[in-house]
Structure formats: structure tokens, C-alpha cells
A and B are shown apart, each in its own frame.
Chain A
């Protein structure tokens, strides 16, 4: 079978500053046909900026070549398989881009009066209704700009709820050791105290472990389901009942909704508030191609605290309602990253309800296929049917000195983006693989072949793995030196 990405010509490229030559203009301008006046006379000399030292002087072609070459060093879902666990790096259909670029949507001014925003507010309301249906909850805000901001907003609303009830002592957030890493940060940023819940030997949280930590200080349980081991928290209903009985609320980190969408509703599991990652589950661009979008869904009891304003339907008209005295306030300059929820709507409408169920089922099938095909080659800490991702470890490779980092680097030589590594922390040397539903059987098989070859090389020629990668533009980087002695910007004196 053909290995992807193992031949081709990649150009070396210097920094744009190093391409600079004195007095080389980008575009030559004609002399002005009006009298020149001194800028200092017009706005005051004190308002003029000093010359920028080392500002690059380059031609248009220099700029085009520079950035085109850099773009060719890049790796993206459009060039290859990108199995980063818990990141849901699915293909982003181009029709989403077409929809978001429609002039009637892209050129709307966010400061326009509601009467001039009826179309886009109608779409916002439609996205909210769909997310309500998928979550099994009652209301949605589209404002949060990413998953972590969604978590932050969710925890803020939970705090507002407890305060409104006079429960000022409820500051403790219980977070399983298999949750996403952002969860403790979001709780701590809200001034809450984080308490870790240990998962059981089977990789999921057991009611007894949770119950021992619940008391009148409990604010919330923050659950990632499926968790970062790719396992469904099958006690979720009982966990939620225990938290509710203790007076707390249950937050769901919805980053892994690609395993549940259309099949199981978090509201039915006892979840009170959750965020979605539109840039994961709903195929909007991810990472450098973002921005993200992290809508939050809540149960009725939290509705008063939703960020302001909210979209309200008033007969045939849509309004932005800011008259919300108990709201936690605005969390985004305008109504969220609108281009993102428009893309998500295009995705949802393209697939339809049945298509979304197919997405979930195929995502789960693909992860289990990879697990089944690799489990005789790699250690599987929890050998169970998984959801949308699976976790392997480097335990079998350690005897020849090959580590998870080496396996990840070697995958680049085979033309694949490495999976998430060393996370979750509960599994030493974790390799967390999320294939998503958009990969074909042939691409999954190529990845599996690569992983098997690396397992074989680890036995027969480990140095081939520990010295990888050999093919990418940039070989193994000195990550330690980069972290200990970072050089964050180019300066003239470094060049000299």
C-alpha cells in the first residue's frame, strides 16, 4: 500500500525580516497629484510613531513566495489523517464556507438594529433549537467563543444559581481524573476549589467514590462523558442523582459529543449544563483555522443566568433581549462567533437528523476498529468497547527504550499527524487516538499499517523509531531547550 506524504519538494524559507532589502518596495506608487503636507502638521508631531526598526522591505512576489512556502510546511485535515484524541479533527466540508461567506450573512453589521438583523437572528434561533434538541436541555446561549469559555460560563452560572439561593458556601467542584484538562482551570478561574474524583480500575467513576466527596460545600460535578479514556461513564445517571441530592449541579464537558450526538441526550442523563464545541462535533474550522465556538445549553433552572442578551422570538420577530437582571452578563463582544454557528448550521442541515446519528455511529465504529486492529501490537490499559476514541500506551515498547513520544514522531515519517500523547495523565505514556467518522476504511488501514510497522521497528530497529522523524521539513526539535530558554522573537542583533 502507498505510504502517504513521503516524497516531494519542500522549500527552505528564511524569516520575512531576513528577506528584507533596503528600499525594496512592495508596490511602486505613482507620485501624488495633490500637494503633499507634512503628517506632523496635520495631527501633531507628538502623535507620529517612530520608525519601526527592521520593518521588512520586500516585493509582492517575496511576500507571496514567503507565505506560500510556509503554508507548504503545514499539515492539516485537508492534507492527511489527524487523529488527535479528544480534538475531533473531522473534515470541514467546503459547503460550510460557502454558506458563511454569503454576503447577506458575512456583511451584516453587528451594531444594526434588530429589525435589520431578522435573517441572522432567525438562524441563531434555529441553531439554538437544534442544540436544545441534541442536548435534551431547555435553553442555549451561542455567545461563548470556545469550549473553555463555555466551561467558564457554565461554572459562572452554577455559582450564580447557588448564590441566588443563599448557598454561598458551595465552592467545591468535583472533577474526575479522566476529565479534560481545561475543567479544573475553568473552575479555578471562577474562584472555586477543585477536588479530584478518582476513577475506578475499569476507567470510569463509581458512585461510591463520588459520594464520599459530596457535602454542603459541593457546587458541581464536572464530568467529561465519554471520558478521556474514550469510555462512557455508565453510572452517569446515578452520579447525577447523588450530586442533586447533595444540592449540587452537574456540568458536562461536551467536547466528546461526537460519541453521543443524535443517540443519547445529556439532559436525559441528569446533566444540568453543558457546552458544545462547534469546532469539534459540528465541523467548523479548528486550531489556527478557527475561531472556535462553545455554545452552552442549560436546564430551565439556570435560564435566568444565561449571558445577556439572548435571542427571543416575539411573534414573527426576533429580538436581542438584554433586560435580564440575573444574567451573568455579556461574555462576547457580539453574538458569539457568528460565522461559526452559521457553518455548524450548514453542516447540520446538510446531514439532517439521521445523518447526525450516522456520524456518531461511524465515529464510534472507527475508534473500535483501530483498537481491535492494534491491541495485539500495543498495550491497551482498558480493553473495553470504547466510544469515539481509544487509548493505547507504550508499555510493550519500553523494553527497547521506545517511548510514546518516539512513536508519535515516527508516525510523521509515515505521513500521519501524531495522536494526542501523554494524556490522560492517569495512563503513563498514553497515546489517545480519535479517528472521527470522516476517514475512509483505506485511510484507517494505512494508519493501522503504520502503527504496526512502528511496533515491529521498535523490536527490530528501535533506533529508527527513537531518532524519528527523518522525513519532515523539521527533524526532532529540542523541546526541552525551547521550553527552558525560549527565543520568542527575531531581533536585528540575532541576525548580525
Chain B
């Protein structure tokens, strides 16, 4: 088996704690990257906040639990949570199966949309995975 490769789509931005963001009109969707879900392995539980919660960049907004570990979800940008993917409650496996699609976790109405540009680009994120995993 060859060394693992991880999907890093080009139209997303990435936090240093392995969340992705995708600008979707006025809302910024947030999820976990392919690398993060692969490191966590099978995710069995997701704890997501309620719509209306204010989040600050770098602060915990939720928790994911896999058979290996429990991990905090950190907000990549500041703003108000305006959408939550409640169905993940029933289908935590979507985070593993389709991390950039059906595995989206929350939508944030950002305080400052430009904050997205300050996050890592796909190339920067690919380099950070390479450094950490040695692949």
C-alpha cells in the first residue's frame, strides 16, 4: 500500500487546527478536513452548538469523538453561527465519508469576511500535512 494521500480541494481555505472553510454567499461553511478525519479515524459522535451562538476565531465551538480520540473543534473565524448541520447527530460517519460535502458542520456569518483570506491556502495546508505526516 502506498503512502496515504489526502484530499485538499482548491476552492477552500484551511485553519491550522485542520478545519476547512468555504465561502457560500454571505455564509462561511466550516467542516473538518480529509486529513483530520483520517487521523481521527471513525467518528462516532459530534457535539455542535446552537444557531445564534457567537464564536471567536481559535475558540472551541464543538467536539468530535472518534474511536481513537476526543478532539475540540476550533472556529476558524469569528462570527455568529447561523446554520448547524443537525443531521450529523444521526450520521457522524458523514464526517469520514464526505468531509468536504455532506460532512459540513456549521455555517458562520462572519464578522469580517476578509478573515477568510488570512487562513491557509490549499498549497500552504498541503505543505503543513506533508510536514506533519511525512508523506
The answer to whether A422 and B69 have CB atoms under 8 Å apart is yes
Q: Which residues of B contact A (CB under 8 A)?
A: 1, 3-4, 39, 42, 44-45, 65, 67-69, 92-93, 132-134
A7 at the interface (CB under 8 A from B): no
Q: Give the A-B pair count, Cβ closer than 8 A.
A: 29
Query: Which A residues touch B65, using CB under 8 A?
Result: 483
Using A428-B39, A484-B92 as known contacts, say yes or no to A399 and B69 having CB atoms under 8 A apart.
Answer: no
Is B133 a contact of A428 with CB atoms below 8 Å? yes
Let me know if A479 and B67 touch, CB within 8 A: yes
Query: In whole angstroms, how far apart are the Cα atoms of A428 and B38 in the complex?
Result: 11
Let me know if A401 is at the binding interface, CB within 8 A.
yes
Min C-beta distance of A404 to chain B, whole Å: 9
A225 vs B20: C-alpha distance when bound (angstroms): 35
A245 at the binding interface (Cβ < 8 Å):
no
Query: Are the CB atoms of B1 and A401 closer together than 8 Å?
Result: yes
Do B68 and A484 touch (CB < 8 A)? no
Are B39 and A484 in contact (CB-based, < 8 A)? Answer: no
Question: Which of A398, A425, A484: most chain B Cβ within 10 A?
Answer: A484
Contact B42 A480 (CB under 8 A): yes
Complex CA gap A484/B4 in Å reads 26
Q: 14 A-B contacts, Cβ less than 8 Å apart? A: A398-B4, A401-B1, A405-B68, A422-B69, A423-B69, A428-B39, A428-B132, A479-B67, A480-B42, A480-B44, A480-B67, A484-B44, A484-B92, A484-B93
The chain A residue with its CB closest to the CB of B132 is A428
Q: Chain B interface secondary structure, helix, strand, loop or mixed? A: loop
A483/B133 in contact, CB under 8 A: no
**Complexed CA–CA distance, A401 and B93 (Å):** 21
Q: Which of A420-434 contact B (CB under 8 A)?
A: 422-423, 425, 428
Q: Which residues in A have their C-beta under 8 angstroms from that of B1?
A: 399-401
Report the count of interface residues on A (CB-CB < 8 A): 14
- Supposing A428-B39, A428-B133 touch, asked if A483 and B3 sit within 8 A by C-beta, the answer is no
A residues within 8 A CB of B69?
422-423, 425
Hey, which chain A residues are within 8 Å of B44, CB to CB? 480, 483-484
The interface residues of chain A lying within 8 Å CB-to-CB of B42 are 479-480, 483
A395 at the interface (CB under 8 A from B): yes
Contact with B along A389-409 (1 / 0, CB 8 A): 000000100111100010000
A483 and B134 in contact (CB under 8 A), knowing A399-B1, A399-B3, A428-B39?
Answer: no
Interface string of A272-285 (1 = CB under 8 A from B): 00000000000000
In the A-B complex, list the 3 residue pairs whose CB atoms are closest, starting with the nearest.
A483-B44, A480-B42, A422-B68
Residues of B within 8 A of A483 (CB): 42, 44-45, 65, 67
For residue B69, give the distance in angstroms from its CB to the closest CB of chain A.
6
Chain A nearest CB: distance from B86 CB in Å? Answer: 16
What mask results when residues 468 to 496 of chain A are scored 1 for a CB within 8 Å of chain B, else 0? 00000000000110011000000000000
- Cβ distance B135 to chain A, nearest Cβ, rounded Å: 9
Chain A minimum-CB-distance residue to B91: A484
- Cβ distance A315 to chain B, nearest Cβ, rounded Å: 52
Instruction: Name 17 extra pairs, CB < 8 A, besides A483-B45, A484-B44, A484-B93.
Output: A395-B134, A398-B3, A398-B4, A399-B1, A399-B3, A405-B68, A422-B68, A422-B69, A423-B69, A425-B69, A428-B132, A428-B133, A479-B42, A483-B44, A483-B65, A483-B67, A484-B92
List the A residue with the shortest CB-CB distance to B45: A483
Tell me the minimal C-beta distance from B46 to chain A in angstroms: 11
Contacts of A399 in B (CB 8 A): 1, 3
Set of chain B residues within 8 Å of A398, measured between Cβ atoms = 3-4
With both chains docked as a complex, state the minimum distance between the C-beta of B47 and any C-beta of chain A, in angstroms.
Answer: 14
Chain A positions within 8 Å of B39 at CB level: 428
A483 to B65, CA, bound (A): 10
CA distance A423 to B4 in the complex (A): 21
Q: Which residues of A contact B67 (CB under 8 A)?
A: 479-480, 483
Query: What is the minimal beta-carbon distance from B33 to any residue of chain A, in angstroms?
Result: 15
